[in-house]
């Protein structure tokens, strides 16, 4: 039986890197980790306010001795992992980036959570104990190397903790939909009064629940916020934004860091939008034609909406 463990959440970024011989770069967990001897992609936790693109470069250099450049986003996924020796269960939202090598020399480490960095062919990697997210990224079968909780822990959708300067800070992972219908219209929601960005048009979506995959979260949020049922098509990108003194319904400033994955979604049978979650952060939902969307002033769109619309090439 899995003991009762304290639930935690984190966001992490990892490098998917292959050399000229199609070998993949992997790091080995040391005896200091919860799964010593298990191999994974290089990477680690996103610091508060840090862009995940910078995280993957920083963490890869620290764990392998190699300098990398981000080529593009490969996947976003989530998993839960129980660590009884630490008394915790962790939900991790993992951002997987394709990277290229700029230089450096592979190095081993002493007294750190990982101790070796090596190049492996896919055939060699198949025989290694791999973290499940690493096996998925490489298209290999995953072994039972992680202990999963028997039940999904209760965990608040939003929480803030005191930062080192005394100001509360919060880091949140969310998933959003760039939703279109057969006529090319785009579905947007308007932020309610009392919330950051009040009055601006936003993408449907929101924070993922503990244990929830981002794709499932945005389809759920699409129904709750707009009454539409959508079909997930592709991952478009990830946006990272920090507001050092965000002010929302909590009534006090929060150093807020949002990491948001956005996806292309198709609504095959659009209906008049309805907001089911009355009293929440969404007060209105509306379909916009291409010309209407292009006519919206830039300051009437939230940051992630402007970035996602551009990535989807809708304007």
Residues 80-90: pLDDT tens digits?
Answer: 998 888 888 99
pLDDT of residue 174: 96
Which stretches in the chain have pLDDT values below 70? 1-3, 315
Asked if 203 and 109 sit in the same domain, the reply is no
Dist. CA 110–CA 188, nearest whole Å: 50
pLDDT of residue 223: 95
pLDDT of residue 315: 63
Dist. CA 278–CA 213, nearest whole Å: 24
CATH number of the structural domain spanning residue 31: 3.90.79.10
Looking at the structure of the chain, the number of domains it has is 2
Token couple for 126: 């198949």
Asked if 202 and 79 sit in the same domain, the reply is no
- Residue 257: inside a domain, yes or no? yes
- Residue 246: inside a domain, yes or no? yes
Asked if 127 and 247 sit in the same domain, the reply is no
> Any bridge partners for residue 207, and if so which?
174
pLDDT of residue 221: 94
Asked if 196 and 70 sit in the same domain, the reply is no
Asked if 206 and 85 sit in the same domain, the reply is no
Domain of residue 304 covers: 169-311
- Residue 163: inside a domain, yes or no? no
Asked if 307 and 177 sit in the same domain, the reply is yes
């Amino acid at each position: 039986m899995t003991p009762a463990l304290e639930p935690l959440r984190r966001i992490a970024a990892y490098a998917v890197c292959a050399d000229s011989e199609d070998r993949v770069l992997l790091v080995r967990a040391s005896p200091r980790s919860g799964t010593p001897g298990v191999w994974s992609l290089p990477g680690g936790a996103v610091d508060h306010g840090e862009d995940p693109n910078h995280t993957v470069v920083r963490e890869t250099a620290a764990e392998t001795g190699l300098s990398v450049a981000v080529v593009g986003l490969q996947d976003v996924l989530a998993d839960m992992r129980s660590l009884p020796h630490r008394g915790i269960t962790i939900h991790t939202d993992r951002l997987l980036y394709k990277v290229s090598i700029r230089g450096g020399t592979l190095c081993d480490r002493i007294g750190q959570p990982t101790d070796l960095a090596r190049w492996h062919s896919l055939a060699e990697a198949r025989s290694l104990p791999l973290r499940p997210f690493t096996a998925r990224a490489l298209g290999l079968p995953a072994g039972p190397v992680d202990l999963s909780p028997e039940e999904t822990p209760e965990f608040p959708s939003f929480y803030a903790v005191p930062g080192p300067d005394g100001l509360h800070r919060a880091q949140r992972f969310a998933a959003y939909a760039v939703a279109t219908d057969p006529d090319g219209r785009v579905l947007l929601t308007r932020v309610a009064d009392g919330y950051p960005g009040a009055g601006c048009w936003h993408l449907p979506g929101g924070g993922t629940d503990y244990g929830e995959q981002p794709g499932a979260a945005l389809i759920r949020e699409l129904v709750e916020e707009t009454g539409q049922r959508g079909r997930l098509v592709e991952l478009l990108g990830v946006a990272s934004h920090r507001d050092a003194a965000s002010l929302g319904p909590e009534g006090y400033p929060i150093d807020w860091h949002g990491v948001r994955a956005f996806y292309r979604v198709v609504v095959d049978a659009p209906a008049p939008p309805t907001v089911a979650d009355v009293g929440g952060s969404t007060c209105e939902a509306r379909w916009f034609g291409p010309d209407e969307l292009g006519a919206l002033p830039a300051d009437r769109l939230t940051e992630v909406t402007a970035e996602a619309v551009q990535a989807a090439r809708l304007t």
